[in-house]
Amino acid sequence: MTIATLAQVLQPALAGGYAVGGLVCLGWEDMRAYVAAAEAENVPVILQAGPSCREHTPLPVLGKMFRHLGENASVPVVAHLDHGYTMQECKQALDSGFTSLMYDGSRKPLAQNIEETAAIAQMAHAAGISCEGEIGFVGYSGGEASAGTDPAEAAEFARQSGVDAMAISVGNVHLQQDRQGGLDITRIRAIEAETSLPLVIHGGSGVPVAQRKMLATGSKVCKFNIGTELRMAFGQALRRSVNADPDRFDRVSILKETHDPVVAATRKVIRAFGAPGQG
């Protein structure tokens, strides 16, 4: 059994100078491929159920899927709720077997964000699992604009919220399809000077690979969330499979052909994070 909490994979990453991939799942095919890639590289992996995933598949079902994969994997697997917006949602994830809760109060005033995140963290810790919070707002490509993390507010959030990891806004953007941006390293250095917590970068697909490598091995950034990049790999493989035979209709045979390409793309992503013992 190698199901793990977020703290159990991020604390060694912080001490060892590497990062762990928080991989955004949409269904069985991608989450299975992510675990296969992590096993091939001999590194831990964080399976993440975000809002769009939960809209498609109920949390109790996702919890069983994540735990089945984790309990049969040769590497540590974290079952992580990504962007939980309410206490009720976080409680349902906990009851469904998740081992990590990310409460997103980043759109709220600092005091409210701290208060609500602290309540989630307390609930998580009482159950023996982990909690991630967010300070500063990470925007969306073509949508809501970001609000950068203030280092002084990050210090207060880290002290008072009780979280095991802190997501920050430092130029990262959700759903970005290219890697033309890059992060604000000066802001990252200012934030990590204020806290000993592992830091998290949401919207990691938009971060240049060289910068991911540098931060994974040379900063307190211990978790990169990667979604868009791997969804694109899945979509390209699915399109090739469907187009190869217009008369084929059995979705199991079609979806099987996404597995190897997604495993290959995932291995390439997680190699950049510098974890020891890679395959």
Which band of pLDDT confidence, cut at 50, 70 and 90, is reported for residue 206? confident
- Please check the confidence at residue 278 and state whether its pLDDT lies above 80: no
pLDDT digits (tens, 9 = 90+) for 172-194: 554 444 455 678 888 899 999 99
Contact in structure between 200 and 235 (CB atoms under 8 Å): no
Which band of pLDDT confidence, cut at 50, 70 and 90, is reported for residue 205? confident
Name the 3-class secondary structure at 200: strand
If you count them, how many residues does the chain have?
279
Domains of the chain (ranges plus CATH)? 3-271 (3.20.20.70)
pLDDT digits (tens, 9 = 90+) for 75-126: 999 999 999 999 999 999 999 999 999 999 988 999 999 999 999 999 999 9
Q: What is the DSSP letter of 177?
A: -
226 class by beta-carbon count within 10 Å (0-12 exposed, 13-18 middle, 19+ buried): buried
Contact in structure between 129 and 111 (CB atoms under 8 Å): no
249 Cβ contact partners less than 8 Å away, ≥ 6 residues apart: none
39 Cβ contact partners less than 8 Å away, ≥ 6 residues apart: 73, 74, 75, 279
Would you state the pLDDT for residue 8? 98
- Please check the confidence at residue 204 and state whether its pLDDT lies above 90: no
Q: Which of 53-57, 76-80, 242-246, 273-277 bottoms out in mean pLDDT, i.e. has the lowest?
A: 273-277
Q: What is the arithmetic mean of pLDDT over 27-53? A: 96
pTM exceeds 0.85: yes
Give the number of other CB atoms < 10 A from CB of residue 74. Answer: 11
Q: What is the mean pLDDT of the chain?
A: 90
Would you state the pLDDT for residue 139? 63
Name the 3-class secondary structure at 176: coil
Q: Considering just the CA atoms, what is the radius of gyration of the chain in Å?
A: 18
Which band of pLDDT confidence, cut at 50, 70 and 90, is reported for residue 64? very high
Cα 215 to Cα 200: distance, rounded to the nearest angstrom: 11
Q: How far is CA 107 from the centre of its chain?
A: 19
Give the number of other CB atoms < 10 A from CB of residue 88. Answer: 9
Q: How far is CA 149 from the centre of its chain?
A: 19
Q: What percent of the chain has pLDDT over 90?
A: 75
DSSP lists the bridge partners of residue 134 as: 167
